[in-house]
Amino acid sequence: MPVAVVTDSTHYMPADLVAREGLHVVSLYVDQGGTLTKESELGGYDDFYDRLRAGAKLPTTSQPSIGDFLEVYEPLTASGHDIVSIHISGGISGTVESARQAAAELASGNGQRRIEVVDSLSACGGLGIACLAATAAARGGGDVQQTAVRARQAMDAFEMWFAVDTLEYLQRGGRIGRAQAWIGTALRVKPILTLAEGTLMPIERVRTARRAFERLLEYLRARHDDGADAWVVQHIQSPVEAERLTDAGREIMGCEPRFVSQIGPVIGTHAGPGLLGVGSVAPELLR
């Protein structure tokens, strides 16, 4: 593809899908007790989440450096590629700003290749879908502008609901957004949230995990009725529930999910174990 698509590690798509789509990934970092590690190098996440449950203090996370981006950008531009670089919401992380600074630095030294940086206003499934839309456009011969436009169309159309066990981790990490008003009842409900315009937005509170699961299915049915049948499932240490949701989703949507995956430490530190989510977009945006 003449246009290369770069993203960051918070998409959490399966590795084989990332490789098949030809995505280039810049990793965020996790600091566990003074040890800074690239999220992409952590491998399986169960040990991390077990420590998260037991720890009194949350790990910290940090964005990639400008140098991290240049390490990816420079070989691509040198080999003749333009770049569309799509990243986690700037309302959550400074990653997209690092990407912009790296793009500006590279452009000042070599104006022959263009780098378009896109703030996905999302993360996880939303970021992943934006990347899949971009690679579809690039594979179809789209230039930088057309590829970036397709990514933005997908991120505008994508919606995802997710249920969390508790608001504790979001509160401790300072990422609770408008769900702050729910703190008083957080231990007695299963909050359902979404990410809109780069910030966490509350959907509703339900009393049990069973009801939360049912509401996610109801949401899938509504998305199917709207023709948004390109769907994804993501979770944090909830593989059994994710499998149940995927099985039910196949019957509702009449097709396989674009991917099913576990969310990693950078987002999981703030969301906490037990998250279960589903989202979708119109399939034509991924063609």
Please give the CATH architecture assigned to the domain spanning 159-286.
Answer: 2-Layer Sandwich (3.30)
3-28+63-157 CATH: 3.40.50.10440
Angle between helices 144-157 and 125-139 (to 10 degrees): 150
Pairing of strands 230-235, 60-62: unpaired
Domain ranges of the chain: 3-28+63-157, 159-286
Q: Return the residue matching tokens 């206003």.
A: 121
**pLDDT of the chain along its 287 residues, tens only?**
799 999 999 999 999 999 999 999 999 999 987 889 999 998 789 889 988 988 778 889 999 999 999 999 999 999 999 999 999 999 889 999 999 999 999 987 655 679 999 999 999 999 999 999 999 999 999 999 999 999 999 999 999 999 998 877 877 765 565 555 455 455 567 889 998 777 778 888 888 999 999 999 999 999 999 999 999 999 999 999 999 999 999 999 999 999 999 999 999 998 899 999 999 999 999 99
Task: Using the structure block, give the residue that is written with the tokens 């499932």.
Answer: 233
